[in-house]
Structure 1
Amino acid sequence: MRQVDQSSKPDSATLVQTIYSPLVSREAFAHAIGLPLGVLIKQSERGYWPTVKIGKRIFINVEVVRIKAAERAAEFAL
């Protein structure tokens, strides 16, 4: 049996790791922004939301949404 030196391991209470994916399912995105799923699906089919199709699944590209929102915010900056 192999023993691991516990003193070299970081304390799990102080270890913070953020995993960010730029692609989110339509269901998760609708829940996050507070829209009904049917509304978001129709809006994405009409091209209002940037989508990526991987296999048979369709995802919202949140990174593109973030960039476009930042561009629009810059237009209205005082």
Structure 2
Amino acid sequence: MEENQAPQVPATVPTMTIERFSQLSGLDEGVIYGHVRRGYLPTIKVGRYRLINVALLNAQCLQAEDWA
């Protein structure tokens, strides 16, 4: 039997699509797109796709002084 040569992706991926971020956050996709355009949410571009950088967003939230 052949072994699977595909790379294994960990369960905690530090990026996600705008659509998935919308589902998990409960905000409409239009709101997410607006936040991305205004620079409120960090993103990276992979090919023609734009992904939310959840790892950087988490770090920014933890460094904010008014989160507690």
Q: TM-score range by the shorter chain?
A: 0.7 to 0.9
Please state if 1:24 is matched with 2:27.
no
Partner of 1:56: 48
Q: How does 1:1-20 map to 2 (within 5 A)?
A: 19-20=11-12
Please say which structure displays the higher CA radius of gyration: 1
What SS does the aligned partner of 2:13 have?
coil
Pairs aligned (count): 60
Q: What CA RMSD, in Å, does the superposition of the two structures yield over aligned residues?
A: 2.1
Q: Secondary structure at the match of 1:31?
A: helix
Structure 1 residues 62 and 44: CA distance shift in structure 2, 3 A = same
- Structure 1 stretches of 4+ moved >6 Å: none
Indicate whether 1:43 and 2:5 are aligned: no
Amino acid at match of 2:42: P
* 1:26-60 Cα shifts (integer Å, max 9, x gaps): 00011111110011011101111000011111100
On the 8 A contact 2:16/2:52 being kept in 1, the answer is yes
TM-score, normalization by structure 2: 0.77
Amino acid at match of 1:58: R
Percent same amino acid among aligned pairs? Answer: 31
2:56 is paired with a residue whose SS is helix
Query: Which letter maps to 1:25?
Result: T
* 3-state secondary structure, aligned to 1:43: helix
